[in-house]
């Protein structure tokens, strides 16, 4: 794992431990980072942090329509695909240690 991925993972875990909520805008920023080559390490690190946190507790994603509770890695994968059908973390090599 790259330094950037490790740092972003650590920061995401710390954030979720303080408050297990993420705004939909946070998720959209992560999706955008995954889509852009220069931001990919940031996006991957944040997703890894979320995946590691999900091993312990669910997260809450706050949207304009309310709250989406994500209980496990498979729900996270499906949720991400609702935002970008081309990103499938369940089969992506960057996340193979989690699936």
pTM (2 d.p.):
0.89
The yes-or-no verdict on residue 1 having pLDDT over 90 is no
Alpha-carbon distance values, 99 to 15, 52, 69 (Å): 23, 11, 20
Residue range 46-55, pLDDT digits in tens: 999 999 999 9
Contact criterion met (CB below 8 Å) for 35 and 73: no
Residue range 69-95, pLDDT digits in tens: 999 999 999 999 999 999 999 999 999
Give me the residue label for tokens 């408050």: 19
Select from 50, 42, 38, 43 the least CA-distant residue to 87.
43
Residue 71's Cβ-side half-sphere holds a number of Cα atoms within 13 Å equal to 0
| Those residues with Cβ within 8 angstroms of residue 13's Cβ, 6 or more apart along the chain or in another chain | 49, 52, 53
Q: Within a 10 A sphere around the Cβ of 5, how many other Cβ atoms?
A: 20
Higher-confidence residue of 56 and 39: namely: 56
């Amino acid at each position: 794992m790259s330094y950037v991925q490790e740092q972003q993972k650590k920061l995401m875990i710390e954030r979720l431990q303080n408050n297990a909520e993420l705004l939909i805008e946070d998720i959209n920023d992560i999706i955008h980072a995954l889509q852009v080559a220069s931001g990919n390490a940031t996006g991957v690190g944040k997703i890894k942090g979320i995946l590691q946190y999900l091993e312990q507790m669910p997260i809450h994603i706050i949207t304009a329509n309310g709250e989406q509770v994500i209980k496990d890695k498979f729900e996270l994968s499906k949720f991400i695909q609702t935002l970008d059908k081309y990103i499938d973390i369940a089969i992506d090599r960057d996340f193979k240690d989690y699936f």
